[in-house]
Structure 1
Amino acid sequence: MEILTDGPVLHLSGDFDVRSTWEVRTAIYEHLEGQDSDVVVDLTEVTTIDMTALKVLAVATRRAAAAGHHLTLRGCGPAVRRMLHLSHLIRIVEVERVAVSA
């Protein structure tokens, strides 16, 4: 898992699974503490994701809300969206809407 920071955006790439959840969790929490604005987690380059990783994102979303911020997921592919719906975590996390072209 590679994590790059660009202002309020955390860009994740690679496998986001049980082996990388601690690293991502730490990066998100540190980013939330250092930001006066909302945080975006970009999953565009994530190749695989599991339920443990989604739970980390859900808990981080609630932690951000408790601090008065928003945590938004960007670049959620069909597989990620499907898992969010199947797990009902879609009710907890905020997923950035993608504009549909005509």
Structure 2
Amino acid sequence: MACAPALRTPPWPSPRAIALGAAAQLAAEERADGQAERIAQLRDLLNRRPEAALPGRVQLNGPAKKRLPNTLNISIDTSASMASWDTNSSSPPPTASTSPSAAIVPSAASPTA
């Protein structure tokens, strides 16, 4: 009875292994430069802005302390604003803005066209 050849896992593709090593090196450099702390501060600012504008209606989804510096997951209770919206009105319901005027970092005078 002939023995079947042994199956072995092929080696990692070289380009992927090199890219993984380069990504790990960049992440380590950014962490050493304090980038994670700066990004965490921006994340926290992004969380505080809607909380200040909509007191009691913004909920952080997930842990408040142990979380990634670049991740923010929130829920906004829209029941109060939607209840006051007249469905017969031609104007749309109130929504959150993602325009540059609502940017995280306040700017000086905006340039005019």
Q: Normalising to structure 1: TM-score of the pair?
A: 0.23
Larger RCO (alpha carbons 8 Å, 6+ apart): 1
Write 1 or 2 for the structure with the bigger share of strand. 1
Larger Rg: 2
Q: Normalising to structure 2: TM-score of the pair?
A: 0.21
